[in-house]
């Protein structure tokens, strides 16, 4: 069955609605002059399993559905949602939200509606991809294999999560589009003790796939091995240095630098409003000419990928920075219209109960030409940061942070001792101008990123090659 038909069936028909009912709600929304209107239907299935202390500790399952109704007039938005997908309720929501429209333009402009787009993932239900016993067996095997790796292991925690999300988006131009989005995630955390010192290591991954993802290439067990390795490194870690120094970032997940330092600052809403440190700077140099950064929602099976965004726009590979020059912003429909540019497929929302806004998908830097070893060798004294926890940015001042979870000192061109986790802080608009070497080892992260903005969480990806930054403040304790 074609996707649209399948989703229409699973969201509308089961609730006794037909596509004509969507037309009635849309007609109610369009009874006043508006620039845009949409109805977003969603049905989500979610499960999680966790293992701790060597036993299957917890499992949970949830089913949620609902619809959100939105009208936009100029820069004004009216929004209501309900968990009851019923015609009278949707009509009432439509009547409530259109009150925001005092004057507006009737949506006359012909909008190009994409008819088809590549399918970046299969419309699978990951919850059904293994039977429950097989999920339990997988967790138990990962737990026991991980525990064998080191006698200092005191506790292992393994979690397995899957979501199966169907969305149906009706726009004021009469278009009706659907997407079915699987997402799986696994995580292993290890606590290790030696001579009274206790440290942890954590590793995970996932993507828009089903549980078979973790069985391919030995991934599930590799997470366990990597978590153990990180805990081992941390047991040896000494005080981190404090102060401004050369920092080499490893490939992959350290791309969170790009997400925080420049990604958020390049989201369309902040730039339309002029509240971002990057506002009005398209065409200007914001990075060294070694840097080309894209936001690409079209990567097959990645955690941050989407066939279409939550406004029905097919995702794109958007060049943000090309050879150091700022090229453009990430846009949803509202901000694109107000800025006179086209949407880039970055309109995302956490659920039907949230308003869409410009969000990242998979944000990464393209590879350069340097050999990673040569980059390390070029540093007399500095920090090599291989793994990170989370980060945060103040998009107005441009100041951003991200915290290392695996880092080493570089002394005379060699990686020497591991150091404890430390926060790195810098200034978004100039940090990339200090990039003096870019490795040829571009890698994407393992599929663990979740981005928060205005209280809404969405899955994202990041990536980068090894990077050398001439001067970043490292927040250790060793002054």
Partner 1 sequence: MQNQEEINRLKDVVQQLLDEAKQQGASGAEAAFSVDNGLSVSARLGEVETVEYHCDQGIGVTVYFGQKKGSASTNDISTDSLKETVKAACSIARYASDDAYSGLPDAELLATEFPDLDLNHPWDINAEQAISIAIECENIARGYDKAISNSEGASVNTHQGTRVFGNSLGFLQGYQSSRHSLSCSVLAGSGDAMQRDYWYSVARNAAGLESARQVGEKTAQRTLARLNARSLSTRQCPVLFASEMASGLIGALIGAISGGSLYRKSSFLLDTLDTQILPDFVRIHEQPFLRGALGSASYDSEGVATRARDIVSDGILRSYILSTYSARKLGMQTTGNAGGVHNLTVEPGSNDFAGMLKLLDTGLLVTELMGQGVNRVTGDYSRGASGFWVENGVVQYPVQEITIAGNLKSMLRNIVAIGNDVDLRGNIRVGSILLEQMAIAGE
- The residues in 20-79 that bind partner 1, with binding defined as CB under 8 A, are 49, 52, 55-66, 75-79
CB of 423 to partner 1, least distance (A): 4
Per CB under 8 A, which region of 17-25, 165-173, 342-350, 390-398 contacts partner 1?
390-398
Beta strand 381-393 pairing with 399-411: antiparallel
CA-CA distance, 48 to 192, in Å (whole number)? 25
Whichever of 355 and 366 has its CB closer to partner 1, that residue is 355
CB of 128 to partner 1, least distance (A): 13
The residue behind tokens 């004509």 is: 20
Whichever of 163 and 294 has its CB closer to partner 1, that residue is 163
Q: Which of 203, 355, 458, 469 binds partner 1 (CB under 8 A)?
A: 355
Q: What angle do CA 179, 183, 184 make, to 5 degrees?
A: 165
Q: Which of 242, 282, 319, 338 binds partner 1 (CB under 8 A)?
A: 242
Q: Cα torsion for 411, 414, 418, 422, to the nearest 10°? A: 60
CA-CA distance, 355 to 129, in Å (whole number)? 31
Tokens of 185: 């995630």
Q: Which of residues 430-459 bind partner 1 (CB under 8 A)?
A: none
Residue 391-430 contact track with partner 1, rule CB under 8 A, x = bound: xxxx-xxxxxxxx----------------xxxxxxxx-x-
* Spatial CA neighbour of 37 closest among 311, 332, 389, 384: 311
Q: Cα torsion for 430, 436, 442, 444, to the nearest 10°? A: -30
Q: Which of residues 196-235 bind partner 1 (CB under 8 A)?
A: 198-200
Residues 6+ apart with CB under 8 A from 406: 230, 233, 234, 385, 386, 387, 418
Whichever of 4 and 425 has its CB closer to partner 1, that residue is 425
Whichever of 31 and 396 has its CB closer to partner 1, that residue is 396
Whichever of 234 and 305 has its CB closer to partner 1, that residue is 234
Whichever of 136 and 415 has its CB closer to partner 1, that residue is 136
Q: Which of residues 111-140 bind partner 1 (CB under 8 A)?
A: 132-133, 135-136
State the DSSP H helix or E strand holding residue 286, giving kind and residue range, or none if neither. none
The footprint of partner 1 on this chain (CB under 8 A) covers a number of residues equal to: 80
CB of 433 to partner 1, least distance (A): 13
CB of 163 to partner 1, least distance (A): 14
Whichever of 121 and 270 has its CB closer to partner 1, that residue is 270
Whichever of 31 and 392 has its CB closer to partner 1, that residue is 392
Q: Which of residues 286-315 bind partner 1 (CB under 8 A)?
A: none
Beta strand 435-438 pairing with 325-326: unpaired
- Residue 9 as a binder of partner 1 (CB under 8 A): the answer is no
CB of 174 to partner 1, least distance (A): 25
CA-CA distance, 183 to 231, in Å (whole number)? 27
The residue behind tokens 């009005």 is: 280
Euclidean distance between the first and final Cα of the chain, in Å?
Answer: 64
CB of 369 to partner 1, least distance (A): 31
CA-CA distance, 211 to 466, in Å (whole number)? 30
CB of 146 to partner 1, least distance (A): 15
Whichever of 371 and 394 has its CB closer to partner 1, that residue is 394
For 82, phi then psi, to 5°, come to -150, 150
Q: Which of residues 368-387 bind partner 1 (CB under 8 A)?
A: none
Contact (CB, 8 A) for 315 and 345: yes
Q: Which of residues 163-192 bind partner 1 (CB under 8 A)?
A: 191
Beta strand 435-438 pairing with 443-444: unpaired
Tokens of 68: 């959100």
* Spatial CA neighbour of 263 closest among 153, 157, 361, 167: 361
CB of 327 to partner 1, least distance (A): 20
Q: Which of 33, 123, 301, 389 binds partner 1 (CB under 8 A)?
A: 389
CB of 77 to partner 1, least distance (A): 5
> Within 13 Å and on the Cβ side, how many CA atoms surround 15?
24
Whichever of 177 and 419 has its CB closer to partner 1, that residue is 419
């Amino acid at each position: 069955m074609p996707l649209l038909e399948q989703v229409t069936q699973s969201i509308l028909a089961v609730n006794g609605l037909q596509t004509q009912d969507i037309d009635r709600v849309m007609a109610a929304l369009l009874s006043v002059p508006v620039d845009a209107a949409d109805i977003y239907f969603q049905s989500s299935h979610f499960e999680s399993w966790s293992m701790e202390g060597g036993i299957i500790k917890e499992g949970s399952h949830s089913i949620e559905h609902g619809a959100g109704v939105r009208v936009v007039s100029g820069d004004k938005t009216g929004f209501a949602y309900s968990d009851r997908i019923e015609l009278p309720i949707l009509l009432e929501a439509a009547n409530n939200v259109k009150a925001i429209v005092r004057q507006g333009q009737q949506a006359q402009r012909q909008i190009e509606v994409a008819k088809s787009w590549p399918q970046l993932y299969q419309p699978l239900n990951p919850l059904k991809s293994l039977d429950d016993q097989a999920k339990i067996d997988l967790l138990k095997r990962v737990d026991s294999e991980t525990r064998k790796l080191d006698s200092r292991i005191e506790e292992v925690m393994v979690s397995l999560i899957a979501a199966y999300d169907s969305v149906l988006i009706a726009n004021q131009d009469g278009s009706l589009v659907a997407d079915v989005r699987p997402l799986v995630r696994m995580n292993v955390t290890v606590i290790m003790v030696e001579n009274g010192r206790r440290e942890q290591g954590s590793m995970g991954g996932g993507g828009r796939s089903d549980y078979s993802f973790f069985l391919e290439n030995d991934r599930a067990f590799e997470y366990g091995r990597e978590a153990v390795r990180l805990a081992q490194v941390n047991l040896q870690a000494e005080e981190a240095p404090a102060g401004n120094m050369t920092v080499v970032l490893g490939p992959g997940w350290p791309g969170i630098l790009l997400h925080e330092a420049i990604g958020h600052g390049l989201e369309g809403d902040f730039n339309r409003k002029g509240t971002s440190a990057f506002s009005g700077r398209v065409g200007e140099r914001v990075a060294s000419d070694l840097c080309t950064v894209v936001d690409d929602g079209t990567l097959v099976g990645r955690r941050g990928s989407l066939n279409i965004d939550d406004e029905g726009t097919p995702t794109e590979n958007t060049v943000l920075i090309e050879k150091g020059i700022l090229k453009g912003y990430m846009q949803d429909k509202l901000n694109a219209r107000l800025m006179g540019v086209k949407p880039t497929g970055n309109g995302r929302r956490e659920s039907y109960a949230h308003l869409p806004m410009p969000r990242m998908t998979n944000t990464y830097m393209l590879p350069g030409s340097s050999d990673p070893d040569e980059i390390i060798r070029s540093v007399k004294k500095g920090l090599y940061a291989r793994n990170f926890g989370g980060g945060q940015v103040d998009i107005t001042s441009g100041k951003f942070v991200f915290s290392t979870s695996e880092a080493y000192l570089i002394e005379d061109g060699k990686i020497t001792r591991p150091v404890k986790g430390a926060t790195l802080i810098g200034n978004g608009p100039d940090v990339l101008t200090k990039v003096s070497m870019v490795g040829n080892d571009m890698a994407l992260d393992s599929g663990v990123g979740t981005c928060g903005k205005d209280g809404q969480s969405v899955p994202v990806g990041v990536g980068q090659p090894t990077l050398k930054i001439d001067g970043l403040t490292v927040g250790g304790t060793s002054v």
